[in-house]
Each structure stands twice: as C-alpha cells, then as structure tokens.
Amino acid sequence: MGDVPLYQRVSVTGRLDGAHQFLLDNRTHRGRAGYEVLTPLRRAEAAVLLIDRGWVPFSGTRARLPDISLEAAAPVTLSGRIAQLPSPGLASGAPPPTRARRGPGSPVTERG
C-alpha cells in the first residue's frame, strides 16, 4: 500500500497473525504508561500490513506482560487510516541521541 497517501481511509481483509504480534514499549495514553499492540495482518497475495490494535496499560512490571492473545482464525475486514510506524524509542544499550544546533530552529540529531 506504498502508493496510498498517508492518513487515507482504507478497508482491508486478511487474517490477524497473533503468533507474531508484539508490544511496543514506552507508549503513553492520557498520562499513563503502557504499550501499543501491533499485529500483522496477512492478506491473500498482498503485502503484510502491521495493524495498531491500540494501547494497553503497563502492569507495573515487565515480568508480567498484558495478555494480548487473540483468536482470529477467520478472515477479518478492518477499516482505518494509513500511517507511518510509531516513532522509535531508545534502543537498549545504545547511547541516547544528542542534539547539535546549526542555527535557530534547525536541530540536527546525531548518534554519539
């Protein structure tokens, strides 16, 4: 769907792949910490799409992740908007990005 403009409303049919979904950590909603649930949608003879199924709250410990299991053996039709992937957080063990300014209002992000 690379030729579809961002934020265009679409409807797609496929099977949600609960075996390969994941939680995107360090997301907030209304000031609360949590995760975004990202689930692949496998479509017949088309590219797999990553579906943002929404936000779930942080349980207080990463040793006990929220239950995001789903039973979706039958095809589903979903409607939503095309968007880019959520912005990345900091990689574990990697230094945080540093900012250098070349002039007013023109930040440059570099890796240290």
Domain map (residue ranges) of the chain: 9-85
Phi-psi region of 84 (alpha: psi -120 to 50; beta: other; left: phi over 0): beta
Residue 72 — very low, low, confident or very high, per pLDDT cuts 50/70/90?
low
Residue 80 near residue 4, CB atoms below 8 Å = no
pLDDT exceeds cutoff 70 at 98: no
Rg of the chain over Cα atoms, rounded to whole angstroms, equals 18
Answer with the residue of higher pLDDT: 96 or 47: 47
pTM: 0.70
8-20: b or e for each residue (b if 16 or more CB lie within 10 Å)?
eeeebebebeeee
Per-residue pLDDT averaged across 88-101, rounded?
Answer: 56
Answer with the residue of higher pLDDT: 3 or 108: 3
